[in-house]
Amino acid sequence: MKRKGDVFDFTSAHGAAGGQDALVRIDTAARLLTVQLSADSRLGAETPKQLAALDVLLAEIHASMPGALGGVSSEPDRAAWLELVLDRLRNTIPLLEHALEDAHSAALAEGLAKLACECVRWELVAKRVPDVDVWRVLGHGFATGGDSSLARIDERYGGVAKEYLRAIAYHSAGVDLLTIEQAAAVCRLVDLLLPRLTLNRGAGAFILYVVDPPQSPVPVRLSRASGMTSGWGFSPGGAIEVLAETHGQLLRGDVPSGLTGWEPGTLRDAAAHLRRLWSHRPPVRRFRRHGADGKLLVVKGYGDIKALFQAKSGLEFRGWRIADLSRGGVGALLMPKDGGPVPDHGALLAFRPHDGVNWHLGLVRRVRLAKECAEVGIETLSIRPELVRVDDGRVPSEMLFCDPVLKGEAVRVVAGVGAFREGASLFVNVEGRLSKLKPLGGMLQGEDYELRVFQVV
């Protein structure tokens, strides 16, 4: 018979089960860890059991993560999985902090760092605003450990320092710009590249992010203008070369060891994304943002946007709050009272100021969820989109043009999924002049639309 506080083995004896089974196993593992951390017996003696229970919880999370072989796959299951994982991680961190205060165990300190790092990962995947309290836990553990006195930290130091480095790497990887599967794949790549990553005290070559615990617990992107004055700098170091090799393998159709079980296309997208973010010249904002206030009218989805330009009635207009404006797009806030779901990354939108006239066309490029609101970054595709009648030699239809039809110029065209015939040219009659549009290749596909580029010949 098992005694009170003993660790039970909840690892699955069969392959991955459905989403609900995964939720039950994670919840059971979290309850077990809570029992171990709340045990009345002497904490020092209980440390191995607490760490074993923590390992069970993390193993269940990793075995069922979205994107991995056997991971949760359906949209409802993914949303429920993320909500449960974040709730259980957040609730367990204070208990482990309390146990560490009493036991003063290096192993428990590392366990707390693992738990906090896992919380950082899934907060990012869920597109949540960084939790300052979680980062404060990580920063405190690092600052009070012996490794914080060194000039350079890498994976070899292990313990809290290793988990702190991992969390900063997740934070630097632009995970909140991706789908859940892509985000999980990027985090997996970060795990494999961890031996090549470093934290350097003070200014150094190729620093992307800076953190200064405990004064500034959340890492911030290093500005070329301001430079680095204090704290620790995160550098991808030698990971860039390894990442380039990995990306090349994936492009050739080879899946490196350590990534088996992941969808190859998702891995290719994840590797390409991480290479851009960790390059010597990472993407930067092209246009300055200007704070603004006002109401933004929004229509979401290709079908409704097409109906909008056809002047059909009965459409639903959503009202969001404008936060900032730039030449490249709009930053908007969705308040709970606004109603309606938060758009996914890549969603197609038509939008205009409440007192404006012209509808713009754009894509959701960033979503961040806070307690009070959702922050949505919209990239403008066109400030004067037009609904144009086209013929591909099969059947006439109407498509959204982002650019004017000018001879020799490129035109971005948006249509419903499956509307384009592969390799087929389009013919349009603009102002009494028949023009042929030749496909240039490349495609951006969203949930309900495709964007392709053509050249006017």
pLDDT digits (tens, 9 = 90+) for 309-351: 999 988 888 899 999 988 889 999 998 777 678 898 899 999 9
Q: Supply the range of the domain harboring residue 343.
A: 290-382
Instruction: Report pLDDT for 154.
Output: 78
Query: 38 in a domain, yes or no?
Result: yes
Query: 339 in a domain, yes or no?
Result: yes
Structure-model confidence comparison of residues 2 and 233, the more confident one: 233
Instruction: Report pLDDT for 439.
Output: 94
> 425 and 329 in one domain?
no
Instruction: Report pLDDT for 16.
Output: 40
> 85 and 100 in one domain?
yes
Query: 43 in a domain, yes or no?
Result: yes
**Rounded CA gap, 162 and 165, in Å?**
5
> 255 and 169 in one domain?
yes
> 280 and 195 in one domain?
yes
**Rounded CA gap, 10 and 231, in Å?**
42
Residue 414: which of 365, 317, 318, 349 has the closest Cα? Answer: 349
pLDDT bucket at 3, cuts 50 / 70 / 90: very low
Of 284, 312, 339, the one marking the end of a domain is 284
> 215 and 182 in one domain?
yes
Q: The domain spanning residue 334 has which CATH number?
A: 2.40.10.220
How many domains are there within the chain? 4
Query: 115 in a domain, yes or no?
Result: no
CB 7 within 8 A of CB 52: yes
Buried b (16+ CB within 10 A) or exposed e, 371-385: eebbbbbbebbbeeb
> 280 and 235 in one domain?
yes
DSSP secondary structure, 143-211, as one string: HTSGGGGSSEEEGGG-HHHHHHHHHHHHHHTTGGGS-HHHHHHHHHHHHHHGGG-EEEESS-SS--EEE
User: How much is the pTM?
Assistant: 0.82
pLDDT at 231 > cutoff 50: yes
Across all residues in the chain, what is the average pLDDT? 87
pLDDT bucket at 43, cuts 50 / 70 / 90: very low
Extract the runs of DSSP E, i.e. beta strands, from 304-425: 318-326, 329-334, 348-353, 360-369, 374-382, 386-391, 396-401, 410-415
Residue 318: which of 336, 297, 335, 304 has the closest Cα? Answer: 297
Of 255, 284, 313, the one marking the end of a domain is 284
Strands 232-235, 216-221: parallel, antiparallel or unpaired by DSSP? Answer: unpaired
pLDDT at 456 > cutoff 50: yes
% of the chain exceeding 70 in pLDDT: 89
> 210 and 276 in one domain?
yes
> 24 and 4 in one domain?
yes
> 257 and 167 in one domain?
yes
**Rounded CA gap, 202 and 345, in Å?**
35
> 83 and 160 in one domain?
no
Query: 119 in a domain, yes or no?
Result: no
Structure-model confidence comparison of residues 298 and 441, the more confident one: 298
Token code pair at residue 181: 């599967």
Instruction: Report pLDDT for 260.
Output: 87
> 259 and 168 in one domain?
yes
**Rounded CA gap, 77 and 80, in Å?**
5
Instruction: Report pLDDT for 15.
Output: 38
pLDDT at 384 > cutoff 90: yes
Query: 391 in a domain, yes or no?
Result: yes
Q: Over the stretch 155-210, which tens digit does the pLDDT of each residue have?
A: 777 889 999 999 999 999 999 888 888 999 999 999 999 999 999 887 667 889 99
> 413 and 352 in one domain?
no
**Rounded CA gap, 44 and 49, in Å?**
10
pLDDT bucket at 76, cuts 50 / 70 / 90: low
Of 319, 354, 382, the one marking the end of a domain is 382
Instruction: Report pLDDT for 387.
Output: 96
Instruction: Report pLDDT for 410.
Output: 95
Query: 113 in a domain, yes or no?
Result: no
Token code pair at residue 2: 């098992």
- Mean pLDDT for 410-424 is 93
End-to-end CA distance of the chain: 80
Q: Over the stretch 271-281, which tens digit does the pLDDT of each residue have?
A: 999 999 999 88
Query: 132 in a domain, yes or no?
Result: no
- Mean pLDDT for 99-116 is 89
Structure-model confidence comparison of residues 148 and 56, the more confident one: 56
